[in-house]
Amino acid sequence: MDKIGYMNLATLFYVYDPMCSWCWGYKPTWSFLEEQLKQQFPQLAIEYRLGGLAADTDELMPEEMEDFLQQTWRKISQQLGTQFNFDFWVKCQPRRATYPACRAVLLARDVGLEQSFYYALQQAYYLEARNPSDDATLVEIATELGMDSEAFAIALNSELTQARLLQEISQTRRLPIQGFPSLVMALNGELILIELDYKNAQTSFNQIEKLMQEVVIDS
C-alpha cells in the first residue's frame, strides 16, 4: 500500500473512462454499491476520477481495433447480460478517442452533473448509437442536461480544460488501479485496491465495510 496525503480521511475513488465498455457493464453493480455505501457509511467520501483511455485523434479507428471492441462488447453482453446497440459500428465513424468525452465530464463536474453526464453519455454511446468522440454528440448531451451549450462547446477543447484532464489522468495513474473500472480506497494515509466483482456488489462492500472499522477520527 502506498502513502498518500489523506490522513484521517476515508475516500473511495471510482476510476473510470466514459467510453470504457467494461464500465458500462459494471454500471448496475456500481450503482447499487454506491447507494448502499452512501446509506451505510455517510462519512465515506466517494469521488469519481478519470483515467483517460485514448488521446484525441481525427483518424478513423483501424479495422482491427473495431473488431476487437465489437468482440469485447459481445463478451461483456454474454458474461453480464449488458445491452449494446451494434448499429453504432454502421451508423458512426468510430475513432479511438476518449479524451473529448473525458473533458466533457470534467465540465459537467464543474456544475454538479458529472454522474448525470457520464450515464447520459453511456446511454448515447451504447444504446443510441451516437458517437461520444464527436463534439456534436457531447454538446447535444450537455444541452439535454440543461447546461449552457455555447459555453460548454467553447470550453470543451480549450487549453485549460485539456490541462485539467491531463493533470487528473496523471494523478489517477498514481493510484494502484488495475484498468477501468477500478475502486481504490484512501484510508488513514494508505491506498487500498478494492476487489471488484462485476456481478456482486457484496464483494466490494464487505471489504470496504471491514476497512471502515479502521477509520481514524481526529479528536
Using CA of residue 51, residue 56, residue 62, residue 67, what is the dihedral sign? positive
Host H or E run for residue 34? helix 21-40
For the question of whether the overall pTM of this predicted structure is more than 0.85, the answer is yes
First to last CA, the chain: 25
pLDDT digits (tens, 9 = 90+) for 174-187: 999 989 999 999 99
Q: What letter represents residue 190's amino acid?
A: E
Distance, CA of 10 to CA of 43 (rounded, Å): 8
The dihedral over CA atoms of 96, 154, 27, 54, expressed in degrees to the nearest 10, equals: 20
pLDDT of residue 217: 53
Q: Where are the domains of the chain?
A: 2-212
Q: Which stretches of the chain score pLDDT less than 70?
A: 1-8, 216-219
Cell of 184: 481504490
Closest CA to 12 of 191, 189, 186: 186
pLDDT of residue 5: 39
Superfamily (CATH H level) for 2-212: Glutaredoxin (3.40.30.10)
- Can you list the positions of beta strands (E) in the chain? 2-3, 10-16, 45-50, 182-187, 190-194
pLDDT of residue 213: 86
